[in-house]
């Protein structure tokens, strides 16, 4: 009886899953289903923590009637945090394959434009030579008039048939670097400095930081700024919610014990989340000011271009102000920015300790 009931339930569940897959083809992928479930769970958690507060706290409802701006600001922060979450989750972290295609297509378009202009110039020169009077040309005509020598596949380059992406990436490394050691074994693509292959996304990411499970995507150069703003908004919302919970418990601690137990448990979960979010916000703020990533900080000894550099020397650090500008403002003009490895002289300059003159001259900035 139990076996037949269990088998019937499994059949019913499989039929429901097949029907859902037909109606929503995007849910046929287990990874997408998992990402959707995590997003739904996060939204429900936000609604739960805020909804319980408005359900039990009558003083907050009365305050809303007299001071609607207070509750409206809280609701606005609540909505803005969720919007920032979905915007960050939907933003590309900066996949190397997309940047490679864009650069190669731009180079191919430039070659086609150059080819068309050279052909047009050759035709114009030939027409001008044909219209020239015979008595004006006393020298014999060259046999090269009208001949056009144009190479499209780049064979006239001294490096042979090399794509624009390969030339660009190799210019970011020292001259004696070999493309073989810089090629990703999974994507079979040449990786620029600070790029790493993400096994969850199965793609190489520019300036890889980490793979965020809650967002369902990687954090890289393309969405790191949005990720920081999301953490900032989430921290502010959690802190404000904790203050509202504490205010309710102070004034209603002995009125309904069962409601107090529920709110105390939720407040404990909020407090743990707040500590984690504040530490995460401070950690990423430190990374931004020193122009580092989580991967570079944690796996420094395993990264080839960081092995020979002292621990407290940050090779991509350009000063706090410059780092903040590149992180927050430079993305509007150039979505993806490829950084070259610093030379030995630049590393020596970065490793030099700060003096009083350096502080006064804002060398650290």
Q: Which residues are catalytic?
A: 212
Please report the beta strands in 44-97, taking only residues with DSSP state E, as ranges in sequence order. none
Tokens standing for 274?
């707040």
- Tell me which residue of 221, 218, 269 sits closest to 35, measured CA to CA: 218
Paired with 212 in beta bridges are 217
Q: Determine how β-strand 196-198 pairs with β-strand 210-212.
A: unpaired
Backbone dihedral region of 242: left (phi > 0), alpha (psi from -120 to 50 degrees) or beta? alpha
Please report the beta strands in the chain, taking only residues with DSSP state E, as ranges in sequence order. 196-198, 203-205, 210-212, 217-219
b/e 141-172 (16+ beta carbons within 10 angstroms → b): eeeeeeeeeeeeeeeeeeeeeeebbbebbbee
Residue 221 — φ and ψ, nearest 5°?
A: -65, -30
Tokens standing for 33?
């289903």
**Look-up: residue for tokens 């490793």?**
351
Provide the 3-class DSSP secondary structure of residue 257.
Answer: helix
């Amino acid at each position: 009886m139990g076996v037949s009931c269990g088998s019937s339930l499994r059949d019913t569940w499989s039929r429901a899953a097949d029907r859902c897959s037909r109606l929503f083809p995007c849910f046929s992928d287990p990874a997408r289903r998992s990402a959707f479930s995590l997003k739904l769970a996060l939204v429900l958690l936000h609604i739960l923590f805020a909804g319980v507060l408005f359900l039990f706290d009558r003083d907050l409802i009365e305050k809303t009637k007299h001071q609607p701006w207070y509750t409206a600001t809280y609701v606005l922060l609540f909505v803005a945090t969720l919007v920032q979450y979905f915007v960050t989750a939907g933003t590309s972290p900066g996949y190397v394959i997309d940047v490679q295609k864009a650069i190669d297509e731009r180079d191919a378009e430039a070659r086609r434009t150059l080819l068309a202009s050279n052909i047009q110039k050759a035709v114009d020169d030939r027409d001008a030579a044909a219209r020239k009077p015979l008595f004006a040309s006393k020298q014999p005509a060259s046999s090269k008039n009208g001949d056009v020598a144009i190479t499209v596949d780049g064979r006239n380059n001294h490096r042979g048939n090399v794509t624009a992406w390969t030339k660009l990436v190799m210019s970011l490394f020292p001259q004696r670097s070999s493309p073989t050691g810089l090629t990703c074994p999974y994507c079979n693509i040449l990786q620029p400095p600070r790029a790493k292959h993400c096994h969850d996304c199965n793609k190489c990411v520019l300036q890889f930081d980490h793979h965020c499970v809650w967002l369902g995507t990687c954090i890289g150069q393309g969405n790191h700024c949005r990720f920081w703003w999301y953490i900032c908004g989430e921290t502010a919302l959690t802190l404000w919610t904790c203050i509202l919970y504490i205010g309710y418990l102070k004034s209603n601690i002995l009125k309904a014990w069962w409601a107090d137990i529920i709110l105390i448990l939720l407040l404990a979960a909020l407090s743990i989340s707040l500590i984690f979010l504040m530490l995460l916000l401070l950690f990423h703020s430190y990374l931004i000011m020193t122009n580092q990533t989580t991967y570079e900080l944690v796996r420094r000894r395993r990264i080839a271009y960081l092995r020979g550099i002292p621990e407290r020397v940050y090779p991509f650090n350009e000063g706090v102000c410059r780092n903040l500008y590149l992180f927050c403002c430079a993305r509007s003009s150039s979505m993806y920015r490829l950084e070259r490895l610093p030379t030995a002289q630049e590393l020596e300059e970065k490793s030099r300790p700060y003096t009083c003159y350096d502080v006064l001259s804002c060398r650290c900035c």
